[in-house]
């Protein structure tokens, strides 16, 4: 019989953290799940950890592949999954014993395409961070409407801490875009837009390890590039999917302008490296003003006039007022 949940874990040089991650899964109060790991050419002892874990728990199986990036690994994991639900877990994170049970129960009870819980942020050593950063909107139920759903996905753009209905996920062709970081960014926005129902379990059941330098998210420059590149391509995808409307255009504008502003904290050399991307995003945003309506149309029209008068270096200043 097929399992109810497929736990999907991409692995790359995670020997230090993987034993705890897998151990937490074996201690789950919910038992009907499979664990699928893809190791992308790890050079440490990750494969040995996976081999030993497979002997101890028959629900776990793994494959290896060349390192083609985490997006490729995630897409392959989804293809291999057999469960009714998908649970993405990062190899350096860990979860509480009731994690799968509570997310599964919430999704089944509410017949939701997505169930999500809250999370702890921990340091590299596993101890709680003194200052956790979690956007306040993460804790709110997502309102109806494409605009609210877009913003909800944008402000909660992480795969972990959630269950996704697999058939629904696959049917809507949610794929991770390859060749970039922040590969889950647009998948979450699209999932929020397409979900009929999203249910929240108001408990911190997932532990996100944020304090180590090897994490992709530790490189703020690469994350800024990935986020803006994904936003630029997301507009095209929304148009293709016939999800580009007044509400999504307004939220896309807001997110894209802020994505451009994120580069203010990088050196002139870094900004020059991404000049083509920044110009592309700025031009696309300016051309999208007409898709906005009402006050939003007026706000963004004035914004771009002021930026034209004051120069593009003024984008951040005016965005603080108009965004």
Q: What are phi and psi of 312, to 5 degrees?
A: -70, -20
pLDDT at 131: 56
Q: Is 242 left (phi over 0), alpha (psi -120 to 50) or beta?
A: left
pLDDT at 142: 72
| Fold type of domain 5-218 | Spore Coat Polysaccharide Biosynthesis Protein SpsA; Chain A (3.90.550)
159, 88 Cβ separation under 8 angstroms: yes
Mean pLDDT for each 10-residue chunk of the chain (323 residues)?
96 96 97 97 96 96 94 96 98 97 98 95 74 57 85 91 98 92 89 96 92 65 92 95 95 93 90 92 94 88 90 79 68
CB atoms < 10 A from the CB of 245, how many?
13
Model-level pTM? 0.92
Residues in the chain: 323
Q: Write down the residue that tokens 């921990």 correspond to.
A: 122
CATH 3.90.550.10 positions along the chain are 5-218
CA distance 190 to 317: 30
pLDDT at 110: 96
pLDDT at 140: 65
206, 83 Cβ separation under 8 angstroms: no
316, 257 Cβ separation under 8 angstroms: no
pLDDT at 1: 82
pLDDT at 208: 93
Dig out the tokens for 257 from the structure. 């302008």
């Amino acid at each position: 019989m097929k399992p109810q949940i497929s736990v999907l874990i991409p692995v790359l040089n995670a020997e230090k953290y993987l034993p705890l991650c897998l151990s937490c899964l074996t201690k789950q109060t919910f038992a009907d799940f499979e664990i699928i790991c893809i190791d992308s050419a790890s050079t440490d002892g990750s494969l040995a950890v996976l081999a030993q874990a497979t002997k101890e728990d028959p629900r776990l199986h793994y494959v290896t592949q060349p390192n083609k990036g985490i997006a490729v690994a995630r897409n392959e994991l989804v293809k291999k999954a057999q469960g009714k639900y998908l649970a993405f877990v990062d190899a350096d994170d860990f979860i509480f014993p009731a994690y799968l049970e509570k997310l599964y129960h919430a999704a089944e009870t509410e017949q939701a395409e997505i169930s999500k819980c809250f999370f702890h942020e921990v340091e590299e050593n596993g101890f709680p961070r003194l200052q956790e950063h979690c956007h306040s909107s993460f804790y709110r139920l997502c309102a109806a409407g494409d605009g609210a759903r877009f913003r909800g996905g944008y402000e909660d753009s992480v795969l972990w801490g959630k269950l996704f209905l697999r058939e629904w996920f696959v049917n809507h062709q949610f794929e991770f875009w390859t060749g970039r970081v922040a590969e889950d960014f647009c998948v979450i926005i699209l999932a929020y837009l397409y979900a009929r129902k999203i249910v929240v379990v108001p408990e911190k059941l997932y532990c996100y390890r944020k304090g180590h330098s090897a994490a992709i998210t530790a490189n703020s420059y690469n994350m800024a590039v990935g986020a803006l590149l994904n936003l630029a391509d997301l507009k095209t995808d929304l148009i293709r999917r016939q999800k580009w409307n007044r509400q999504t255009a307004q939220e896309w504008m807001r997110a894209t302008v802020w994505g451009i502003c994120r580069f203010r904290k990088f050196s002139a050399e870094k900004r020059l490296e991404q000049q083509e991307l920044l110009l592309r995003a700025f031009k696309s945003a300016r051309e999208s003003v007409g898709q906005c309506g009402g006050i939003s149309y007026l706000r963004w029209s004035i914004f771009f006039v002021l930026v034209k008068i004051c120069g593009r270096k003024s984008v951040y200043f005016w965005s603080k007022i108009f965004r």
